[in-house]
Structure 1
Amino acid sequence: MVLSEICIKRPVFATVLSLMVLLVGLMSLSRLTIREYPNIDEPVVTVDTTYRGASAEIVESQVTKPLEDSLAGIEGVDVLSSISRQERSQITVRFRIERSADSAAADVRDRVSRARRMLPDDVDEPVIAKVEADASPIIWVAFSSDRHSPLEMSDFASRIVKPRLQTLPGAADARVYGERRYSMRVWIDRDRLAAFGLVAQDVEDAIRRQNVELPAGRIEGREREFAVVARTDLVDPQQFGAVVVRPASTPDGYPVRIRDIGRVEVAPANERTSVRFMGKPAISLGLIKQSTANPLELKKGLLEMLPRLEAELPEGMSMTIANDTTVFIERSIASVFSTIWEAVLLVAIVCLFFLRNWRAMLVPLVTIPVSLVGAFALMYAMGFSVNTLTLLALVLAIGLVVDDAIVVLENIYRHVEEGMAPMAAAFRGAKEIGFAVVAMTVTLAAVYAPVAFMTGRTGKLFAEFALTLAGAVIVSGFVALTLSPMMCSKLLRHERSHGWLYLLIERFLVGLGSTYRRVLTRMLELRWLVMLAFGLVAASAVVLLGALKSELAPVEDRGRVVSIFSGPEGATIDYMARYAAQV
């Protein structure tokens, strides 16, 4: 072929071509997203609605049911589920995998806006959101202390730690769970309230009227001006307790204040969630990565920042990584990379055993890194990620990418052994085998490419696997037509005598060939028996296939137990925490 002849005549050009493939592949590898598995999640849209003060039955009948009836007619809906709790309705719409997430969310917004007039007037506006697979925390950090209250731990996590973690490379957000925010809580004595002829709404209205922040303007002079600050907002329990709920009816009368009908204290704004770590009350902070970020790099940045954060912790407070999901990604990818090195070593040993020449062994061996690294460029162009399946495809590709180079090597080496000069043998051998290498490369790639056109979850799962494998084979064909002939012209030599190891392996191969010839001759004499055995094996394969269990992916034991339980309607957080502590 013309390309092979050019590369044989210009070895520097052939070398530069392969170096360019390596360079582009390495640059693409640094930009590829790292995941445990390919992204095969269906589009999911949630509708959250809050109806304050409503029971679960009212939420279901007046909020959830009208919304469900409106959402049921959207095209492409696979599963529609809902949960109605006290004051809250949550509807989850799961679409088919081929549906676009953006268009699905737009359809949900349109249907919810139509159903809005059927909802109660005082219900909050429904919140519609797309649920992304990467929107869950990948690392959980727990704060615990035997000297500080949950309010103090939550305040430190929210003000000091959270902003710092959000600046980590690849971090999308950091969420505080079990958060206890400072607030002013007013506890009303209902007997006293009734004695004064008041209701809770009167207390709320009084606080709204008297706890305000008003702009007071500024004072301007000839050369200076001053901003006027009006301290009209309330900041401590005593000031809230002095709020007048009902003024005195007569000049010498007694106004009713909040401290007369209840008590005021600083307490958490919301205590409906709780977090425990190692059996003790705690505050957790979940770190969420960006959709295209490398979770291992995010973890590395967190580990580098942890010592600095721990140095700023108040005395008696501890900060611990409670759960790290990147461990499974890191170990699975490390395991696949070790498998790749083992496969390369085995291929090298096999090539050396059959070729019996270390110079000849280098020709197919060089094809492996160029083909595998070059496949990363194709993965980046197609929007793939580095995950367990794409790395598995590269492991399988190791045995395939050397085929083209071995075919070229064997044909050129044959001419060298016949006494032809290495340069002339390279020209002749590459010309004879060039189109056969192209046909073999296209055939191997065509075997795996159709998997990419499968539909549904299975097709999306194995598309990256198939196209990565096909891409590595295509790159190997390019290397076999450019770099391999050039290396053969420079490395191969005609050896008139061979060493003892060569002769020993040669005798073994000759004996193996003779044994196979005798066995094949005997099988041809007993061809009907061979066909009968073949039929029995094929029939048993069909029977055994029906007995095997089928699943999308094998079950993995990650050494983690997740328990989910729900309590009776109206159960408080203390009720649930008591049983959770027993678990």
Structure 2
Amino acid sequence: AFLLDWRATLIPGLSMPVAMIGTIAAIYLAGFSVNILTLLALVLATGLVVDDAIVVLENIVRRRNEGMGPRAAAVLGTQEVFFAVVATTLTLVAVFVPISFLPGQTGGLFREFGFVLAMSVLLSCVVALTLCPMLASRMLTSASLHHEGGTGIGARIGGALHRLYKRCLHLCLDAPWIVVLVALIFAGTAFTLFGTIRQELTPAEDRAVVLLRINAPQGVSLDYTTEQMRKIERLIQPLRDSGEIRSTFENAGNNGSYNSGFMVMTLAPWDERMRSQQEIMADISRLTKQVPSVRVFPVQPNSLGIRGAGNGLQFALVGNDRKALSEAAVKVVDAMRQDPRFQTPRLSVDPTQPQLAVAIDRERASDLGIDITGLADTLQAMLDGNDVVDVYIADRSYGVKLVSTTNPINDPTDLENIFLKTSDGRFVPMSTIATLTERAVPPSLTREQQQPSVAITANLGSGFALGEALTRAEQIAAPLLPPGARILPLAEAATLGESNSAMIAVFGFALVIILLVLAAQFESFISAVIIMATVPLGLACAIFALLLSGTSLNAYSQIGLVLLVGVMAKNGILIVEFANQLRDRGAGVREAIEEAATIRLRPVMMTMICTVLGGVPLVLAAGAGAEARVALGWVIVGGLGLATISTLFLTPVAYLLLGRFVTPKAHEEARLKRELEEAAYVDLEPAE
């Protein structure tokens, strides 16, 4: 459509499979596996690997349209864009490689993703600079008309759009500060709205499986827990009859705890049911409320298998006073129940295990002459027996246990009737010197970061993102915390914080690396700054794309933002590098950038459309894990689509304002040559 020559279209079409096959070979040689992240990288690579070939091919076609022969056009056209292709490739590699070094669990998952993309663009650069010129010299044997001079519908539309862009660009260059002001307002608005985007580690995905965690009261038997789980199974039987649930697996007594269990329900394939996993899970949650004797918590697993994922919000109150923390945790849970977006907030470890506390009146025991030194061992022997010694018979060890053979302890009152001997030989019941109190306690005491902690868990309602939920929980808990206590995110919430911090660091690192790479390639920091000037506006466009599509900011969309930085810089390189070439030939700043932007309009639009089309399958994805791919796809399709249009105007304006401070290479080379010639005529005094 752009080149108006079907033979030219075949060249990038042949280059893409070569680069993709090379990428797959690189995956094999690197020892990577084929998984959802490497496959996702390959999908994105299909839109990126043709970019370099398009840039080279478009310049060759332009030279052919100027009347050059096929071989001359292939050689000179490739030489003209050689620097730009290498620069864009190194820029993209500088973006992708830092992704592979993300710390933490998320970084380990995306390590292969970043390397696959980096290898694909490196191979595409090699293919574009070798295979494409060779094919062009043999396939473009007859010069085709330029799109402005053609008579077809496509040529007329292309010519009209080309002239429209030329007029708009001329107006923008006449009023550069107005363009800068509009860009700043646009970017400022986007970054102001950034805080309204939902933040979560991964989007809720339809994995065709629902997990249920069942908790019964502490101290119940395994038979009791099993019976309650059978009740739940009978309640969800209509869903099995309808075909939405294909199979159910259950296990009572999970991890050796009689009061807990879990159920795994496999759903029908996505194309065989009308409702989503989230809708079915909401129905299951409603049905399980008919079993009040246990608490049921649904879990939604995600494709990344990140710790604690799908369990909702988990955080802990951490401090030095465990009793104060426990009291504050109960108040926090009660306050969270007032917000309907928190579903079933509870303490992660229920304080429902019965415990019998024995308080000894030491003064009364002393008055009666009762020695309480061995009282604990005596109670142990009466209750469960006391290990006293090991006896070895024929090289085998046998334990000897001291137990009570009479009056078994079956009730707390039986402890009060244990008789103790006084100093005068009388026997008195233990209730004379001891008070028994029955109370509920947690089955275990937890610590986080070597401090006492009390964990709180809550499921989240539909549309209530994890980041927003954590912020709201911190607001609720802040006035209720005891002195010296703090909130510590756990599980998925902790991973979300680590991921956000790591992504900010990698994002900044990528920007610095790109700036240094561009400065080294262009031998000018100002040229690098001109190219990077469009990055804030590109990110602003991505933010608006997330807002308009209702997509959350998660691990996938963050990767898309980093990818967008590289693609934005790539478009800027194509324009700035050609403008520098025109200035080397003697053109002024305004003349050079206006002509460069006009000539580079076609390759910029072609590469943008190819990259966007490579992301369209992600936006249209359906099936397992589609929600994650959609998040990445919208950043690329929406963000890049809006950002490219802005690049076509903002980059020339930035060059017009800053390009005057860049000395053309031709001037520098002429100066060097002149100084060397002058040095040749200088008589140097011999060293003494």
* Superposed pair shares fold, TM > 0.5: yes
1:366 positional shift? 0.5
Q: Deviations over 1:448-500 (max 9, x none)?
A: 33233343334433332233234443243122211112223333348576458
Q: Do residues 80 (structure 1) and 248 (structure 2) align?
A: yes
Q: Is residue 2:652 matched to residue 1:466?
A: no
- Relative to structure 1, the CA distance from residue 391 to residue 282 in structure 2 (aligned partners, 3 Å threshold; closer, same or farther) is closer
1:384 pairs with 2:551 = yes
SS at match of 1:456: coil
Partner of 1:8: 173
CA offset at residue 135 of structure 1? 5.0
Change (3 A) 1:411 1:367: same
The one of 460, 464, 470 aligned to 1:298: 470
Deviation at 1:330, TM superposition (A): 2.3
Residue number among 456, 462, 465 corresponding to 1:286 in the alignment: 456
Residue aligned with 2:243, SS: coil
- Aligned equivalent of 1:399, options 551, 566, 578: 566
1:45-444 superposed matches below 5 A: 55-56=223-224, 59=227, 63=231, 66-67=234-235, 69-77=237-245, 79-83=247-251, 92-95=264-267, 98=270, 99-101=275-277, 103-105=279-281, 131=299, 136-141=312-317, 154=326, 157-158=329-330, 160-163=331-334, 174-180=345-351, 267-268=438-439, 274-277=443-446, 284-288=454-458, 292-293=464-465, 295=467, 298=470, 302=474, 309-311=481-483, 321=488, 323=490, 326-444=493-611
Give the AA of the match of 2:444: V
Q: Is the 8 A contact 1:368 1:401 kept in 2?
A: yes
Letter in 2 for 1:26: F
In structure 2, distance between residues paired with 1:163 and 1:57: 27
Q: Which residue of 2 aligns with 1:255?
A: none
TM-score (norm 1): 0.55
SS at match of 2:205: coil
Determine if contact 2:216/2:259 at 8 Å carries over to the other structure: yes
Q: Which whole-Å CA distance do the structure 2 matches of 1:501 and 1:292 have between them?
A: 64
Provide the residue aligned with 2:620 in structure 1: 453
Question: In structure 2, what is the Cα distance between the partners aligned to 1:109 and 1:156?
Answer: 28
* Equivalent-residue separation in structure 1 for 2:267 and 2:315 (angstroms): 28
The 3 A distance-change label for structure 1 pair 78 and 370 is farther
- Alignment deviations for residues 387-418 of structure 1 (CA, whole Å, 9 cap, x no partner): 33322222233322112222222333333333
For 1:387 and 1:332, the matched residues in 2 are separated by 9
Q: Distance in 1 between matches of 2:515 and 2:459?
A: 40
Contact persistence 2:250–2:263 (CA under 8 A): yes
Tell me the CA shift for residue 378 of structure 1. 0.9
CA distance in 1, matches of 2:215, 2:334: 29
The answer for the alignment partner of 1:479 in structure 2 is 646
CA offset at residue 139 of structure 1? Answer: 1.0
Distance in 1 between residues matched to 2:286 and 2:605, nearest whole Å: 53
Aligned pair in 2 of structure 1 residues 54, 488: CA closer, same or farther (>3 Å)? closer
* Aligned 8 A contact 1:22 1:373 in 2: yes
Q: CA deviation at 1:346?
A: 2.0
1:254-280 superposed Cα distances (whole Å, 9 cap, x missing partner)? xxxxxxxxxx98744x66x61322599
C-alpha contact (below 8 Å) 2:545/2:638 kept by paired residues: yes
- Contact 2:232/2:288 (<8 A) preserved: no
Long gaps (5+) in structure 2: 1-164, 301-308, 357-434, 674-688
How far apart in 2 are the matches of 1:64 and 1:167?
A: 27
Q: In structure 1, how many angstroms separate the alpha carbons of the residues matched to 2:514 and 2:671?
A: 18
- How far the C-alpha of 1:386 sits from its partner, in A, is 2.4
Tell me how far apart the structure 1 counterparts of residues 235 and 538 of structure 2 sit (CA, whole Å): 54
Distance 1:95 1:137 in 2: 25
Q: Does 1:488 align with 2:658?
A: no
Q: Distance in 2 between matches of 1:489 and 1:304?
A: 52
Aligned-pair identity in percent equals 13
TM-score, normalized by length of structure 2?
A: 0.48
Query: Helix, strand or coil: the match of 1:386?
Result: coil
Amino acid at match of 2:347: V
Structure 2 SS opposite 1:138: strand
Distance 1:298 1:103, change over 3 A: closer
1:178 and 1:442, CA in 2 relative to 1: closer, same or farther beyond 3 A? Answer: closer
Indicate the RMSD between aligned Cα atoms, in angstroms: 5.1
3-state secondary structure, aligned to 2:317: strand
| Distance of aligned partners of 1:436 and 1:45 in 2 relative to their CA distance in 1, 3 Å threshold | same
Query: How big is each residue's C-alpha offset from its partner over 1:211-266, in whole Å with a ceiling of 9 and x where there is no partner?
Result: xxxxxxxxxxxxxxxxxxxxxxxxxxxxxxxxxxxxxxxxxxxxxxxxxxxxx987
How many equivalent residue pairs? Answer: 408
User: Structure 1 residues 78 and 403, CA, compared in 2 at 3 Å: closer, same or farther?
Assistant: farther
SS in 1 for 2:203: coil
* Contact kept? 1:8, 1:426, Cα under 8 Å: no
